[in-house]
Amino acid sequence: MLQKMETLVRQYEPSLIEALHKDLRKHAQEAYMTEIGGVYEEIHFILKRLKSWMKPKTRLSPLFLFPSKGTIYPDPLGQVLIITPWNYPVLLSLRGVIGAMAAGNTIILKPSEVAAHTSAVLAEMINNNFPAEYLHVLEGDGVTVVPALLNNFHFDHVMYTGSTAVGKLIMEMCSRNLSPVTLELGGKSPCIVTAGANLKIAAKRIVWGKMVNAGQTCVAPDYLVVEESIKEDLVRLIQEEIKRGYGEDPQQGDSYPRMVSDRRFEAVAKYLSQGKLVSGGKTDAADRYIQPTILEDVSMEDTVMKDEIFGPVLPVFTFKTDGEVLQLVEKNPYPLALYVFSGSKSRTDYFIKNIRFGGGAVNETILHLGNSKLPFGGVGYSGIGSYHGKHSFDTFTHYKSVLNRANWFEPSFRHAPFTNAKASLWKWMLGKF
């Protein structure tokens, strides 16, 4: 089935790229680089290792259970519901589906209706080629479809990717039928830059991470926290990199995506009047275009620092001491991602060890998601559980533990009548002298 999925994705690749352009104005390179290529990579990674993951694993037993052995049997959870967002509608839909397939489950996929063109292609690709009782795409308005599913049926696992607010509602509905959940949510992911960092490389990677998909990425750098002494240089380099990559007028090029909907455009556009505009700020509602924008002098009380931005707007803060960074980040706790650009290992370690976050990168942005050996997931308000690679297999698997005991020996000290001598023997075997 995994091999069949790869064959189908390759067959439908032109249609998927076209749909992503219609929904988000993604360039074909961006569509492959950030969505379709990741699907192939995940399938190949799993196929190479799946037989090993599926094998029952033997475990030694403690002395008091002699003679016996323990065995862990991987078992499919059963019926899985996967609810996916509009911002990476191919990658986030199929990566979850691939993990559930690898573990032997049956799956209902509910893609976002906001990315309507991509949802339609996924439905055609899957529903015309897989048995409905095995894998099926269910389209429709999520506000109607998802509650109808969760309130009327029991699922053995539910995976949801989206906003924290909706994640809370999903978890509440799942609790009524005791359906376990994996929630991949959002948050305000900080990007910290210290003196001594390679500023030219930092600027390139920050711009790429922030502006890919026009900032509509759950792990995009949400705001910049830069050491005061290098702030002017870094901002200048970021501005230069935006011009180099997208031109003087990004709206005229084909490398810069658009907001997915009028509603999303309006939500992001309202942030542009907050703080001080350093660069950018132009908009075109008819085209759902928002220019790459840098803000400074933003208040923590502004909505741009209360909401997850999910757009091409980058607020910039400065700091003098590393402790100030912790205080700032803690005002929006549990970010889904953390990025640190620094030439100092001790300072990098300080931020990684003292900030609670889902995952992240050092001297890079976003690309930790590209390593299938690393679990992807949030913490606290940014999510519950994780997936990717073996972690996807584990998420969608129930591990049955079985003790197999031989019959040729039965210790009398286990059974009544109980005595002090037997109790002493048990204390010795269980480690209490």
User: What integer pLDDT is reported at residue 431 of this predicted model?
Assistant: 81
Element (DSSP H or E) covering residue 401: strand 397-405
Mean pLDDT on 195-200: 97
218 is annotated as an active-site residue: yes
Q: Name the pLDDT band for 63 (thresholds 50, 70, 90).
A: confident
Quote the CA–CA distance of 168 and 186 in Å, as a whole number: 12
* pTM, entire model: 0.94
Q: For the chain, which domains are there?
A: 2-185+384-398 (3.40.605.10), 190-373 (3.40.309.10)
Q: Where are the alpha helices (DSSP H) in 304-405?
A: 322-329, 345-354, 390-395
Active-site hit among 30, 35, 42, 218: 218
Residues 6+ apart with CB under 8 A from 73: 56, 399, 400, 401, 402
Active-site hit among 184, 227, 241, 308: 184
Is 80 exceeded by the pLDDT of residue 433?
Answer: no
Quote the CA–CA distance of 161 and 46 in Å, as a whole number: 21
Is 60 exceeded by the pLDDT of residue 359?
Answer: yes
Sign for the CA dihedral angle at 371, 374, 375, 377 comes to: negative
Please write the tens of the pLDDT for every residue from 213-243: 999 999 999 999 999 999 999 999 999 999 9
- CB-CB contact of 192 with 342 (8 Å): yes
Is 80 exceeded by the pLDDT of residue 341?
Answer: yes
- CB-CB contact of 83 with 14 (8 Å): no
Please write the tens of the pLDDT for every residue from 280-334: 999 999 999 999 999 999 999 999 999 999 999 999 999 999 999 999 999 999 9
Q: Mean pLDDT score of the chain, rounded to an integer? A: 96
191 is annotated as an active-site residue: no
> Percentage of the chain with pLDDT > 90?
97
Q: Name the pLDDT band for 432 (thresholds 50, 70, 90).
A: low
411 compared with 98, residue with greater pLDDT: 98
Please write the tens of the pLDDT for every residue from 247-292: 999 999 999 999 999 999 999 999 999 999 999 999 999 999 999 9
